[in-house]
Amino acid sequence: MNVFTLGFVAAVLIALAPVLLAALGGALCARVGVFNIGLEGQMLLGCFTAVAVSAKTGSALLGVAAAVVAGVLTAVILAVGSIRLRADPIVLAIGTNLLAVGLTGFLLRSLLGTSGTYSSPDLSGLGRLGDTWIGRVPVLGDVFASSSWVVVLSLLLVPALAFFLARHPAGLRLRGIGENPDAARSLGVNVNGYQQAAVLVAGGLCGLAGAQLALGNVQLFSEQMTAGRGWVAVVAVMLGRGRPGLVLAASVVFGAAEAFGFRLQGLGLPQQATDAAPYVITLIALIATSARWRRRPAAEPLPEPTAGSAVEPTGGAR
């Protein structure tokens, strides 16, 4: 079976887009010194909001906009609670994730009149780039034929965020806050304001990720449909150490594993095994990378001092 085809690359792009968007938000939080594990709940609420608004209005664009707003509003809980009120961010994030599961299940029954899964022929999904002029471009049309504009946006955000953090004054302040908030505060930088802004932007990116998952990858909503993708995004942030390029690489690993799992289903492998493959590979990558980070070269023994001399470590201050 020839796996590495243009069709496989297209499947990888579709699979990685939601994880990449959420992971970029998490990376922004990490660089400003906020460990955000609430990505899963924010993405799930983005999924539901996108489907609900798209079903009621018939506009996928309004659904995407509403999903972004829902992600930002959900992130307010973490931004205000952990940064302004000094509550435990881990507890708040876990509470937000649990709230998203219960709230989307309740709203699915009360607003859309169903349970489990909602799908309707009237549901407006995101368009495919293959139906535009891009579909007529050789190679590029095959790669992005099944993708939406959100997939392309997620890829463009990687160099944009990298440039912002490396060159823009606000990005440099964000990094300075993450490295030493007390020093940044002593220079007159509004540390709380920057941290809250980063968390809210991350919420918007998670909402956009949910919209892509619910209206781009598929056109439906099912309870807990994020299926741990927000947690994979957290792992991608950890693997990439908050650097957009490395976060993209970690997201590609997950996307390739998910796309490969779909191929294996065609060979008759059990669905449970293929569904678990991306998460197992992500876990193995996290363990392997963590082991490499912990490994330190052995310190060289200091030479024995000779008579009448004082030996100092190499590079020591004299």
> Does residue 311 carry a pLDDT above 60?
no
Kind and range of the H or E element at 102? Answer: helix 89-112
Judge contact between 250 and 200, C-beta under 8 A. Answer: no
Higher per-residue pLDDT: 69 or 286: 69
Q: What is the mean pLDDT of residues 67-78?
A: 94
Rounded distance between C-alpha atoms, residue 314 and residue 300, angstroms = 10
Burial class for 100, CB neighbours closer than 10 Å (0-12, 13-18, 19+): buried
Q: How many domains does the chain have?
A: 1
Which of 6-10, 224-228, 255-259 has the highest average model confidence (pLDDT)?
224-228
Residue 221 lies in a domain: yes
Residue 160 lies in a domain: yes
| Side-chain-side CA neighbours of residue 149 (13 Å) | 9
Q: φ and ψ at 317, to 5 degrees? A: -75, 140
Q: What is the mean pLDDT of residues 244-251?
A: 92
pTM for the predicted model, two decimal places: 0.86
Residue 304 lies in a domain: no
Residue 261 lies in a domain: no
CA distances from 272 to 101, 257, 279 (A): 22, 14, 12
Residue 92 lies in a domain: yes
Domain extent at residue 66: 6-230
Kind and range of the H or E element at 175? Answer: helix 169-179
Q: What is the mean pLDDT of residues 64-75?
A: 95
Residue 274 lies in a domain: no
Residue 299 lies in a domain: no
Judge contact between 126 and 150, C-beta under 8 A. Answer: yes
pLDDT tens digits for range 73-86 = 999 999 999 888 88
Rounded distance between C-alpha atoms, residue 143 and residue 210, angstroms = 22
- Name beta bridge partners: 118: 221
Rounded distance between C-alpha atoms, residue 191 and residue 55, angstroms = 40
pLDDT tens digits for range 188-219 = 899 999 999 999 999 999 999 999 999 988 89
Sign for the CA dihedral angle at 93, 97, 77, 47 comes to: positive
Residue 44 lies in a domain: yes
The CA radius of gyration of the chain, in Å to the nearest whole number, is: 23
The number of beta carbons lying within 10 Å of the beta carbon of residue 243 is 18
